[in-house]
């Protein structure tokens, strides 16, 4: 026996336990995730494991009181959105970042994930309608909520320097890109799939209001009488929960192409003619915890959705965090 009455085996077991301990630091941002979600996940992990301790910090915590203790063991820091004042002190860090769409596409293409054919709009660009079709989509590599997305005649796509655009235009942050138009049917729709560390937590089907004029066939923009919009995520759009297997599969594949980004809100389209799925963007900045964010709750209230319980999101988040913490804490 030791001087404290513990056997050598008990002391050894305790030492091994300390060696195996991993710390998980979840970084919260007000209005972007309900902190009660994080607290529920932390309780779940503490109840199910004896080798992971969970800490919750705020992204504005410049001088976090628990930092020294939290980073005293191999750690994994998970921050869905970019840090504000909080700074990790070591370990493995997974955090959201605002990758331009072209960068997202390059990462997905390298992993074999289907994205619509695209090209940056650079000086001297000239697109062949025989290859691209009579119309292409032109949009900024960094843009929000469908802003500055247009359908344009292919032969008219030309480079224009940033100084020719208004000061508020997103071209001042990143270039424009031209993309092959994917026709989804008379009214454009897409799937929004939220994935966390590679696992789907919720899935929506979002379709443009049928009050807009329909595009009855792929290239009939001129004959449609004007007013055609290719953006499906408008305030008047319909939102319904979906378990579309193809959309979920490609969203999870897209997340595997970005293993250091914890939260993605991927926009997926399904081509009307072929049934093939494509990823339009992943929103890696992390503003996609729609189960309980302020904007997510508004959408759920308006459209009578119950997204936290669609796939039991917090249970899935708990399980994947246990797995990834054990694999990646350092």
pLDDT band at 300 (very low <50, low <70, confident <90, very high): very high
Say yes or no: 207 and 106 in one domain: yes
Q: Of 160, 181, 202, which one is at a domain's C-terminal end?
A: 181
Say yes or no: 226 and 110 in one domain: yes
Number of independent structural domains in the chain = 3
Say yes or no: 107 and 253 in one domain: yes
2 within a domain of the structure (yes/no): no
User: Which residues contact residue 207 at a Cβ distance below 8 angstroms, ignoring those fewer than 6 apart?
Assistant: 187, 188, 189, 232, 237, 238
141 within a domain of the structure (yes/no): yes
Residues spanned by the domain of 160: 117-181
- Residue 309, pLDDT above cutoff 80: yes
CA distances from 314 to 7, 103, 200 (A): 40, 30, 11
Say yes or no: 14 and 156 in one domain: no
Say yes or no: 197 and 214 in one domain: yes
At 89-101, the pLDDT tens digits run 999 999 999 999 9
Say yes or no: 264 and 122 in one domain: no
271 within a domain of the structure (yes/no): yes
The alpha carbon of residue 322 and the mean position of all alpha carbons in its chain are separated, in whole angstroms, by: 20
314 within a domain of the structure (yes/no): no
Say yes or no: 211 and 261 in one domain: yes
Main-chain phi, psi angles of 255, to 5 degrees:
-70, -35
Question: Which residue, among 197, 180, 152, 142, has the nearest Cα to 269 in the 3D structure?
Answer: 180
Say yes or no: 38 and 173 in one domain: no
pLDDT band at 15 (very low <50, low <70, confident <90, very high): very low
Say yes or no: 19 and 153 in one domain: no
Say yes or no: 24 and 87 in one domain: yes
Farthest CA pair distance, the chain: 91
Question: Taking residues 250-273, what's their average pLDDT?
Answer: 98
Q: Specify the CATH number for the domain of residue 197.
A: 3.30.470.20
Question: Which residue, among 18, 16, 24, has the nearest Cα to 329 in the 3D structure?
Answer: 24
Alpha helices per DSSP H over the chain: 8-20, 35-48, 67-70, 101-110, 129-132, 245-256, 294-303, 313-328
- Residue 80, pLDDT above cutoff 90: yes
Say yes or no: 54 and 83 in one domain: yes
Say yes or no: 32 and 88 in one domain: yes
The alpha carbon of residue 198 and the mean position of all alpha carbons in its chain are separated, in whole angstroms, by: 10
At 183-229, the pLDDT tens digits run 999 999 999 999 999 999 999 999 999 998 899 899 988 765 455 67
309 within a domain of the structure (yes/no): no
User: Considering the entire predicted model, what is its pTM?
Assistant: 0.90
**pLDDT score at 17:** 46
Main-chain phi, psi angles of 54, to 5 degrees:
-105, 135
At 176-189, the pLDDT tens digits run 999 999 999 999 99
């Amino acid at each position: 026996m030791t001087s404290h009455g513990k056997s050598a085996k008990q002391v050894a077991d305790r030492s091994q336990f300390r060696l195996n301990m991993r710390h998980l630091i979840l970084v919260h941002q007000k209005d972007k995730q309900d902190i009660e979600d994080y607290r529920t996940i932390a309780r779940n992990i503490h109840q199910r494991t004896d080798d992971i301790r969970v800490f919750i910090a705020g992204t504005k915590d410049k001088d976090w009181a628990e930092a020294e203790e939290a980073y005293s063991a191999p750690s994994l820091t998970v921050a869905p959105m970019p840090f504000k004042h909080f700074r990790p002190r070591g370990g493995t860090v997974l955090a959201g970042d605002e990758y331009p769409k072209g960068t997202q596409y390059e990462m997905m293409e390298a992993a074999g994930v289907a994205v619509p054919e695209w090209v940056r709009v650079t000086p001297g660009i000239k697109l062949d309608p025989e290859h691209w079709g009579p119309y292409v989509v032109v949009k900024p590599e960094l843009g929000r909520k469908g802003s500055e997305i247009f359908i344009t005649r292919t032969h008219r796509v030309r480079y224009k320097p940033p100084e020719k655009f208004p000061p508020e235009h997103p071209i001042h942050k990143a270039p424009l890109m031209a993309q092959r138009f994917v026709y989804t049917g008379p009214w454009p729709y897409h799937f929004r799939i939220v994935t966390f560390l590679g696992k789907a937590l919720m899935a929506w089907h979002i379709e443009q209001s049928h009050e807009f004029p329909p595009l009855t066939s792929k290239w009939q923009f001129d004959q449609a009488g004007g007013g055609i919009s290719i953006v499906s995520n408008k305030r008047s759009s319909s939102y319904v929960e979906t378990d579309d297997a193809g959309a979920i599969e490609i969203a999870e594949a897209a997340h595997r192409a970005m293993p250091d980004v914890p939260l993605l809100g991927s926009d997926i389209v399904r081509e009307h003619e072929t049934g093939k799925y494509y990823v339009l963007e992943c929103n890696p900045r992390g503003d996609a915890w729609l189960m309980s964010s302020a904007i997510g709750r508004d959408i759920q209230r308006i459209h009578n959705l119950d997204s936290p319980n669609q796939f039991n999101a917090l249970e899935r988040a708990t399980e994947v965090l246990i797995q990834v913490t054990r694999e990646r804490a350092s």
